[in-house]
Amino acid sequence: MSGKQNGNGTRELRPQIQIWDDEGREAAVGLFDDGEAEWNLLVVFETVTRELVSGRLSFRNGDERYDTAPVLVEDTPAAVVRRATQLPHAMLRQLLVSARN
């Protein structure tokens, strides 16, 4: 994957929502380099209510996959993606470390 480098250490990808099951959706956010490996960063959406959508981050590298608990809540999937692209590098690193444990 390629894309524009963000100030937070991820490379921005054009978000593409894909249906992956009946209850959830996901969108590619960018690539995240934690200093050891480069991870594909995705947001997995779940509808909370008619007005709220939650998003958990999914770090993927080949067969490795680490998902966070829902950490973002907004009114639309697009707002969740936008918010995910604004997370600072240090926070993304902490979320990955927590998801691995």
Extents of the domains making up the chain: 4-100
Mean pLDDT, the chain, whole residue set: 83
Question: pTM of the prediction?
Answer: 0.76
**Dihedral (C-alpha) 93, 94, 100, 101: value to the nearest 10 degrees?**
160
d(CA 19, CA 33): 26
pLDDT in tens, 73-84: 999 999 999 999
Q: Does the pLDDT of residue 4 top 70, yes or no?
A: no
| Helix boundaries (H) for the chain | 77-85, 89-100
